[in-house]
């Protein structure tokens, strides 16, 4: 059982709160890479120790293995197949994810972008106005996801009522989950924080747009767009004061493109400059590159520009290709410094047969040329997938 302690901290209270330890610096500098006083000045010389004392054993630096998955994009063939598996008495989504389940469940912290609203207050529906049965959310938790971002362009597919319904589902049925990317208006400055293995993580999510839809004037719900630069900056800087690690999920970039745009790069650098440490990008529906990004103090943040889809029933070859990202977060006890290491990309393929039958996610290492020949997506092939993964993910560097 994962030990995650969720905390919700109101950003408006920060001015009156004392923050202890190495992370109490001004937000203009990253609190994660502050150089402490010279270790010689802090250490106790041997002459000051009792004659017969033995040196205390150094505690290991705490670490967290984080994995992150892209868009859980539930088109109608996926939920209809899930319904048929139960004979119409419910929904069974689990077989879709069986080949990647171990990656998710074995992580200390697993993050998901839930691309569609989840609620039973509306009937399940397909593109362009998605709604997904609550059973899907339940089973994402069963698979092992701990944190769920809802900051994406389909968040308002069912309007304000749909947003309220999906937030109600997550808060009432899964209060143990770290949910971020939208909130009630009165809680819009509250920042979710969780402690995992002695390391604190803060979570924020922003999107470029919501497909031309917007909340009504005077709404008691709140979402934040990336174009609200000053607000985004304020929230990231405040999160940096609250936690060892700031995770930001921006929904940005060109759809069905594996090229990172200049806007994505600039937004990413801005987020890092303000205090973000791990950027988990989504929106283009296909895998994009990942890399370290230099922080203002010379340290390093890490960005997954786009994870692609975890699953979908899209009909474009690039939309079949995604990845599950991985990263080890270590906190050096002697300095308070956070180190991001062992970045990995596990390439994944969404496979289906004719007429979108048997939609399943495969690790690319378990995918075969024979399966690829039977893929129902036009122009998809094994060699296409192989070339795209090598181009985008630099598999020599990042494959586990």
CA 65 – CA 107 distance, rounded (Å): 5
Strands 290-294 and 4-10: unpaired
What's the total number of domains in the chain?
Answer: 1
CATH number of the CATH domain containing 145: 3.60.21.10
Q: Residue 241 phi/psi, 5° resolution?
A: -75, -25
Contact in structure between 206 and 225 (CB atoms under 8 Å): yes
Is 197 inside any structural domain? yes
Q: Where are the beta strands (DSSP E) in 274-366?
A: 278-280, 290-294, 300-304, 309-311, 321-331, 338-351, 360-363
What does the pLDDT average to over 167-181?
A: 98
Q: Are 304 and 68 contacting, i.e. CB atoms less than 8 angstroms apart?
A: yes
For the ranges 13-22, 102-111, 225-234, 367-376, which has the lowest average pLDDT? 13-22
Any domain includes 16: no
Q: Is residue 52 part of a domain?
A: no
What pLDDT score does 397 carry? 54
Residue 44 lies in a domain: no
In angstroms, the first-to-last Cα distance of the chain is 24
Q: What angle do CA 319, 323, 329 make, to 5 degrees?
A: 150
Pair type for strands 199-207 and 190-196: antiparallel
Cβ-based burial of 197 (10 A; exposed 0-12, middle 13-18, buried ≥19): middle
Count of beta carbons in the 10 Å neighbourhood of residue 357: 11
29 within domain boundaries: no
CB atoms within 10 A of CB 185: 12
Whether the CB-CB separation of 118 and 148 falls below 8 Å is answered with no
45 falls within a domain? no
Compute the distance between CA of residue 341 and CA of residue 290 in angstroms, rounded to an integer: 13
Residue 213: pLDDT band with limits 50, 70, 90 = very high
Query: Is residue 251, in this structure, part of any structural domain at all?
Result: yes
Chain segment 101-122, per-residue pLDDT in tens: 999 999 999 999 999 999 999 9
In a domain, 196, yes or no: yes
Structure tokens at 323: 């990845």
Tokens found for residue 287: 């895998």
Task: Determine the structural domain holding residue 377 and report its residue range.
Answer: 63-398
Using one digit for the tens of pLDDT, what is the confidence trace for 343-366?
Answer: 999 999 999 999 999 999 999 999
């Amino acid at each position: 059982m994962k030990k995650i302690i969720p905390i919700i901290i109101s950003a408006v209270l920060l001015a009156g709160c004392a923050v202890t330890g190495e992370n109490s610096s001004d937000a203009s500098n990253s609190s994660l890479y502050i150089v402490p006083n010279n270790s010689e000045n802090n250490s106790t010389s041997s002459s000051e120790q009792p004659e017969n004392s033995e040196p205390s054993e150094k505690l290991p630096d705490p670490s967290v293995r984080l994995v992150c998955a892209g868009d859980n994009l539930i088109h109608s063939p996926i939920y209809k197949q899930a319904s048929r598996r139960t004979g119409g008495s419910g929904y069974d989504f689990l077989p879709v994810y069986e080949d990647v389940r171990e990656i998710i469940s074995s992580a200390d912290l697993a993050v998901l972008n839930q691309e569609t609203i989840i609620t039973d207050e509306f009937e399940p529906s397909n593109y362009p106005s998605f709604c997904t049965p609550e059973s899907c959310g339940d089973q994402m938790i069963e698979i092992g996801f701990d944190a769920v971002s809802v900051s994406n362009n389909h968040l308002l597919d069912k309007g304000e009522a749909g947003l309220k319904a999906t937030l109600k589902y997550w808060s009432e049925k899964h209060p143990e989950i770290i949910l971020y990317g939208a909130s009630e208006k009165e809680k819009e400055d509250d920042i979710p924080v969780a402690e995992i293995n002695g390391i604190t993580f803060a979570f924020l999510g922003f999107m470029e747009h919501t497909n031309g839809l917007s909340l009504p004037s005077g709404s008691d719900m709140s979402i934040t767009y990336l174009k609200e630069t000053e607000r985004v900056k304020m929230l990231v800087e405040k999160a940096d004061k609250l936690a060892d690690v700031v995770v930001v999920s921006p929904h940005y970039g060109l759809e069905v493109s594996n090229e990172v745009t200049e806007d994505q790069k600039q937004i990413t650098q801005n987020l890092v400059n303000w205090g973000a440490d791990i950027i988990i990008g989504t929106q283009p529906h296909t895998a994009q590159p990942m890399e370290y990004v230099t922080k203002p103090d010379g340290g390093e943040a890490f960005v997954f520009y786009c994870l692609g889809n975890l699953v979908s029933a899209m009909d474009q070859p690039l939309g079949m290709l995604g990845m599950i990202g991985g990263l080890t977060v270590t906190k050096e006890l002697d300095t308070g410094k956070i180190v991001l290491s062992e970045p990995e990309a596990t390439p994944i393929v969404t496979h289906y047969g004719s007429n979108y039958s048997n939609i399943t996610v495969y690790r690319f290492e378990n995918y075969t040329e024979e399966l690829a020949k039977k893929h129902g997506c036009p122009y998809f092939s094994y060699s296409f997938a192989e070339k795209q993964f090598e181009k985008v993910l630099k598999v020599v560097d990042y494959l586990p």
